[in-house]
Amino acid sequence: MDTAFVLYDELTALDLVGPYETLAAHASVRAHFVADRVGPVRADNGLTLHADTAFDELPRPDLIVVPGSSRWRDALANTALVSWLRSASPTATWTTSVCTGSLLLAEAGLLTGRPATTHWGVHDVLAAYGVEVRDERVVRDGRLITAAGVSAGIDMGLTLAASLWGEEVARVVQLMLEYDPQPPFDSGSPARATPETLAAAVALMG
């Protein structure tokens, strides 16, 4: 299964790495880190990743994983990426996104009139594309799966793993990752964060 883990300048690394860790170890997965060019790609917080495949070298992947970016406005202007998504997704078995990666899918015209989720801070932006925005951790609509912000990419990966290989395999992957969230603070969503925490987060996101 040719799997395109999409890279582009200023992506959020955990958006990509979370799904990668849940999927890539399976024997059926042939992982490709794809971008508009082969070479280094710098994430939004400075981590450097490496693209090993150019978009034109993988026109028909079986699975697409699109991470988001804190600098999503710049990402939406990446015409090479959006054009590749528009052409590659229709023939893919699965197209997935994490966080603001769903905005890229929407920009490519893939989510119009469909349910999807994204980071809570850009619900209104996604809705402006004619998307039925859901306030859920993971939303599956046929062969499209979208995840909410950043860490939800792990949930998306496990959801997809269960669809691909069965629930027991996904449970084993979860255990191997020791994915047993017990955060020290109960502020992981706008509904539970204090007004002060929410205001500070909104300010940081600009």
**How do residues 31-77 score in pLDDT, each as one tens digit?**
999 999 999 999 999 999 999 999 999 999 999 999 999 999 999 99
Tokens representing residue 76 in the block? 């939406």
Confidence (pLDDT) at 194:
93
User: What does the pLDDT average to over 201-205?
Assistant: 91
User: What does the pLDDT average to over 91-115?
Assistant: 98
- Write out pLDDT tens, residues 156-183: 999 999 999 999 999 999 999 999 999 9
Q: For residues 56 and 30, what is the distance between their CA atoms, to the nearest angstrom? A: 17
- pTM score: 0.96
Tokens representing residue 114 in the block? 């469909």
Mean pLDDT value across the chain:
97
Q: Who wins on pLDDT, 204 or 54?
A: 54
Place of tokens 């205001």: 199
| Stated length of the chain | 206
Q: Which CATH class is domain 2-205?
A: alpha beta
- Contact call for residues 152 and 120 (beta carbons, < 8 A): no
Is pLDDT of 114 > 90? yes
Catalytic residues: 99
Is pLDDT of 206 > 90? no
Is pLDDT of 80 > 90? yes
Task: State the amino acid at position 52 in one-letter form.
Answer: D
Confidence (pLDDT) at 48:
98
